[in-house]
Amino acid sequence: MSAVMKSSKTGGGAVLQSSRSIFKVWPVALGLAGLAMLLAFYRLYQGAYAFKYGLDSTTPEFAKYWVTMFKIEIPLIFGLGLLMVAYLWFTRDKNLAKIEPETELRRYFVLIGWFMLYTFSFLGIASFYGESDGTWHQTVIRDTALTPSHIVVFYACVPLYMCFGFGTLMYAMTRIPKFATGYSVPFLFVVFGPALILANLGYNEWGHAFWFTEEIFSHPLHWGFTVLGWTGLGLGGVLLQVVMRMSELFKQITAADKLGATA
């Protein structure tokens, strides 16, 4: 399945040959399906082993079922993310000044696909796993920062959307002139703001180690997560920039098609 530019007729009856593939849906669909399967796996894993082996961090079973997962997912996710960013950099377009409107438009559609993957990955911490972390620590007193809840929400979901966020930014900066020649403030907020949630985790754990505070979402220790999460709303500003430029490109391509049809 793909998005296409439809053919049309000019006033003189000439047919515009503009039915061209602009955006392929299947890579994004596969990416979303893969993310959904991964998040579902984590949920099923928690359901099977959280209360059974995740209540005491000093037991061999905790080390086997939870510490092992932590040691695997951190280097794996960040390693794959680093490879993805490196690939986007080394395969960058070095001649963006001469990019054709149709190619630029196609890349904007790909960028929207990146936004979809980033947004979906962010839902892991912003919705289900973020809420479940609060309920877990309201039920079970933490004896380590590596709880079954944290190993999923902070050390899997956060690295995932960090990698997709930086991948999205790298794609835009290496393939789209508008983002290669300047800095988009909302784009930077979208990528760097939520990424700092992982850094804020250190402050959060330090606070809980020194004060036995109740695990309520309104506690000052958690304000950083909320504020940093709100920076993701800058995506609306980025999409406005994207849509405005795409509108200009559609007009340019349509005008070129009309000119070619009448020639």
Residue 219 falls within a domain, yes or no?
Answer: no
- Structural domains counted in the chain: 1
Residue 34 falls within a domain, yes or no?
Answer: yes
Residue 213 falls within a domain, yes or no?
Answer: no
Question: For the chain, what is the total number of helices (H) and then of strands (E)?
Answer: 11, 2
Tokens linked to 217: 């979402």
Domain that holds residue 61: 2-191+235-262
The burial class, CB within 10 Å (0-12 / 13-18 / 19+), for 145 is middle
pLDDT of 6 over the 70 cut:
no
Residue 51 falls within a domain, yes or no?
Answer: yes
For residues 118 and 165, is the Cβ–Cβ distance under 8 A?
yes
Query: Could you report the per-residue pLDDT of 88-101, keeping only the tens digit for each?
Result: 999 999 999 889 98
Residue 145 falls within a domain, yes or no?
Answer: yes
Lowest mean pLDDT among 85-89, 185-189, 220-224: 220-224
Residue 115 falls within a domain, yes or no?
Answer: yes
Residue 220 falls within a domain, yes or no?
Answer: no
What is the predicted pLDDT for the residue at 126? 75
Q: Give the position of tokens 């794996």.
A: 76
Residue 196 falls within a domain, yes or no?
Answer: no
Query: Could you report the per-residue pLDDT of 129-174, keeping only the tens digit for each?
Result: 888 887 887 788 776 788 898 999 989 998 998 999 999 999 999 9
Domain at 154, CATH number: 1.20.1050.50
Query: Could you report the per-residue pLDDT of 201-221, keeping only the tens digit for each?
Result: 888 777 777 776 666 667 777
Tokens linked to 146: 């590596």
Query: Could you report the per-residue pLDDT of 116-132, keeping only the tens digit for each?
Result: 999 998 887 777 888 88
